[in-house]
Amino acid sequence: MQSKIHAFHDAFVVGKKLGEGQHASVYQCFKRVNPRSNMEATTPFKVDKMQDNEYHKQPYAVKMVRSDDYEKIEAHKKEFEILKTLNHRNVVRGIELFYDDFKHEIF
């Protein structure tokens, strides 16, 4: 796993929903210009509540998985490790993995 510095919502803001499956939802997201710190806990999570200069315009996709099932969480972590190594124009590449122990969410 790459990212332990920030939680997902500290580094990214969420845009529109792109799709949904049985175990996860996929959203458009954007990197924040300045990642949130614990002191800025009130900054918005959604891109439509932010100023244009607060996030980068390059869109990403984020798969949000919520599960209390340890095996499902481990399966999603393995999927990320595989996606991170692939480089093909028809396959989405994994860039960062965030895991929230408290909410049992993977981004």
Element (H, E) at 77: helix 70-85
The per-residue pLDDT for range 4-50, each reduced to its tens digit, is: 445 888 888 899 999 998 888 999 999 988 887 655 565 667 888 88
The predicted pLDDT at position 99 comes to 83
Q: What is the pLDDT of residue 5?
A: 46
**pLDDT at residue number 38:** 58
pLDDT of residue 1: 41
Class of domain 8-106: alpha beta
Domain positions in the chain are 8-106
pLDDT, tens digit, 9 for 90 and up, residues 89-102: 888 888 888 888 77
Q: In whole angstroms, what is the distance from residue 105 CA to residue 4 CA?
A: 14
Taking a C-beta distance cutoff of 8 angstroms, is the pair 50, 56 a contact?
no
State residue 27's pLDDT score: 92
Task: Please give the average per-residue pLDDT across 55-73, as a whole number.
Answer: 86
Count of other CB atoms within 10 angstroms of residue 9 = 20
